A = this chain, B = another copy of it.
Amino acid sequence: MPADSYERLVTHLKRAHTLGTVAGLLGWDEQVNLPADSADQRAEQSALLAELQHAAATAPEIGDLLNQLEQPVCNLLSYKPAGGSAENADTADRAVVIREARKDYDRVVKLPADFVAEKARLSSAAYHGWAAAKTRSDFSAFAPFLEKHLALAKQEAAYLGWGDRAYDYAIDKHDPGMTAEKLTALFTELKAGLVPLVRAIAASPVRARTDIFKGFPIAEQREFLRDVTERLGFNYRRGRIDVSLHPFCEGSGADIRMTTRFDADNPLDSLFSSIHETGHGLYEQGLPLAAQGTPLGQNAGMGVHESQSRLWENQVSRSRAFWAFFEPRFREKFPAQLAAVSSEELYLAVNEVAPTLIRVDSDEVHYNLHILLRFELERRLFAGELTVGELPAAWNALSQELLGLTPTSDKVGVLQDVHWSGGAFGYFPSYCLGNMIAAQLWFTVRAKFPELDADFEQGDFSRLLGWLRTNIHEQGRRYETLELVRRVTGEELTPKYLLRYLQERYAPLYLK
């Protein structure tokens, strides 16, 4: 153990982090490699790692060290370097690490062990309860689990000192500094602009044809995907891509693992899922490796993470400039399959807009409405304006209002998502927050570099990635979400850029 208190704190943080990365690898392996009958054994391994990780993260010495370290630097928490000397920067870095480590530490030590165990047990039972209820499309079978999760979420917020602001606490866990009030303001403005656009596109006679993509061999899809993701900047010397049932991105530091899935008759789905995960992977690969295990080496939250995946998936990879470069390469891999598909048909398919009841199948225009619906329901549940029993009816009414569609059953309505079975409230808003941030970053970086389209047309994404590296990735957890956006874009987060982006991309295709 180093003699210096700060160094000792960092040693503790890195130890807990390393255990977390091992647990993460067990999880990745479970999704990618685990033999069919090895699940019980893996569950034991994972439980032991979780126990050790928890013990490392709650080591009493971390609390003692934080107490010592907080005194001399407490007035540096809002520190801004003047001359920018290395020593000042170092002091500022330490202040960030201490501030964020305190936040993490309190979150793990202020929750009693039996509360944590109860929540874990409930989540496991609720997951199976949800899966069974969804199969039978019977919300009433899931309702008791959701009631209990709501009660635990309120109790958790109280333990952490948030009083009755339980939903704000849930939101803050995913996006530091964000609140239900701030989200309400952002989402209200977004809704006002989005609903008319969606209605107009729905009334358009233009329809993308995705049924024309048949018989794309997996081996060639894999090669094309490798080409795309490498050109976007994913470093395969520090990561890999594999196949799993649901695509995800896992890992830390020098070992980032993405997954995808392939469907011979739906190559665009795999491609865009993978680019989405690549966006997450590029962010993780861009976090400062030297700070790995400390908050400076960690991502800034769910919304910022999602802004990276969405920016690469949507703003970049659904653009004409992207396809100017990749269309010939796509056709080279699949000459016969694409022979009868025109360039405009391909581009329209890439930018298909069509309403659906299912969030995960949704296009990027409708997607935000699915989130607004979930946020509004979560907000009302926590505010006591809505009971769990009233949830299906409220879901269906909001679905009709926002999407123009009423679920034919709970299975494709209120029971469609897994999140609530794990008590993950305040998680859904991050997706829409990510979309707003992505669009605002997009207009900022394009104003700064008018040559971005020309870059993309050459298959060069390094200028964009370099800017994201400097402005987002290398900042780690230094700033809360809204402050990060303000610093990078020069203005407060606003939905107007997302609305402008959607208008500029989709109006020429559907409203001509």
Contacts and interface: CB of A to CB of B under 8 A. Distances in A.
Interface residues of A, number: 32
Interface in A1-60: 15, 18-19, 21-22, 25-26, 29, 33-38, 40-42, 44-45, 48-49, 52
Contacts of A42: 255
B26 A44 contact: no
Contacts of A36: 237-238
A24 to B, nearest CB: 10
A219 to B, nearest CB: 11
Given A25-B26, A52-B52, A41 B240 contact: no
A45 B29 contact: no
A239 interface: yes
A25 B29 contact: yes
Contacts of A239: 35
A464 interface: no
A253 interface: yes
A41 B255 contact: yes
A109 to B, nearest CB: 21
A236 interface: yes
Interface in A267-318: 292
A35 B253 contact: no
B26 A22 contact: yes
B18 A44 contact: yes
A254 interface: yes
A59 to B, nearest CB: 14
A236 B35 contact: yes
A33 B253 contact: no
Interface string A407-437: 0000000000000000000000000000000
Interface string A72-102: 0000000000000000000000000000000
Contacts of A41: 21, 253-255, 292
A238 B29 contact: no
B237 A34 contact: no
A49 to B, nearest CB: 7
Contacts of A34: 255
Contacts of A21: 41, 45
Contacts of A49: 22
A48 B255 contact: no
A294 B254 CA distance: 36
B240 A37 contact: no
Interface in A215-240: 235-240
B33 A45 contact: no
Contacts of A26: 22, 25
A41 B25 CA distance: 12
Contact of A254 (B19, B40, B238, B253): B40
A204 to B, nearest CB: 45
A497 to B, nearest CB: 35
* Residue picked from A26, A44, A236, most chain B C-beta under 10 Å: A44
Nearest to A32: B33
A441 to B, nearest CB: 28
Nearest to A36: B237
A38 B45 CA distance: 23
A292 B254 CA distance: 34
Nearest to A256: B35
A22 B21 CA distance: 12
B37 A237 contact: yes
Contacts of A236: 35
11 contacts: A21-B41, A25-B25, A25-B29, A29-B29, A33-B240, A35-B236, A35-B240, A35-B254, A37-B254, A41-B253, A42-B255
